[in-house]
Amino acid sequence: MSLNAGARIGPYEIVARLGAGGMGEVYRARDARLDRSVAIKVLTSARAIDHAQLDRFQREARAIARVSHPHFCTLYDVGQQDGVPFLVMELLEGDTLAERLTMATVPVVRPSASPSRLPRRWMRPTARASSIATSSQATSC
């Protein structure tokens, strides 16, 4: 299910496509009821037919809902539209990890922010969130 800007999933209006992963596509959307931006993860329609993938998606939603931690996004809603499941989550603004790692290889003027220290500073919270996700059986955010 590929969505264009302006399309609606329940009360959410799609603004832009952010990316794709192993289970589906992620979009920036607007929740007009609460006046906030959200991220919506939509299971691709071809996979929605597969019962095992649908079960995995539902397990992921329950696992994410159990996690409450500053290094993990919050699950706001879960639903289905036209038989296609979706998750509505906190939208995390900023650079992707790949973009930050690329920036870290650029020479830095300030000695206190040497490139070798930057990835470690970003990876510690990521590793903590990964550990929490693993213990709660959440696979992605």
Report domain extents, the chain.
8-136
| CATH of the domain spanning 8-136 | 3.30.200.20
Tell how strand 75-81 and strand 84-90 pair up: antiparallel
Give 27-83 pLDDT, tens digit per residue.
Answer: 999 999 999 999 999 987 655 467 887 888 888 889 888 888 777 789 999 998 888
Give 21-30 pLDDT, tens digit per residue.
Answer: 777 899 999 9
- Between 82 and 134, where is the model more confident? 82
Give 75-98 pLDDT, tens digit per residue.
Answer: 999 998 888 889 999 998 887 767
Residue numbers belonging to the annotated binding site? 41
Span 116-128, average pLDDT: 66
Residue numbers belonging to the annotated binding site for ATP? 41
Span 124-141, average pLDDT: 63
Query: In the prediction, which pLDDT does 96 show?
Result: 72
Query: In the prediction, which pLDDT does 49 show?
Result: 61
Q: What is the 3-state secondary structure (H, E, C) of 92-104?
A: CCCCCHHHHHHHH
Can you say whether the dihedral through the CA atoms of 95, 17, 13, 41 is positive or negative? negative
pLDDT level of residue 5 (50, 70, 90 thresholds): very high
Burial label for 71, CB within 10 Å (0-12, 13-18, 19+), is middle
Q: Which tokens belong to 25?
A: 């596509």
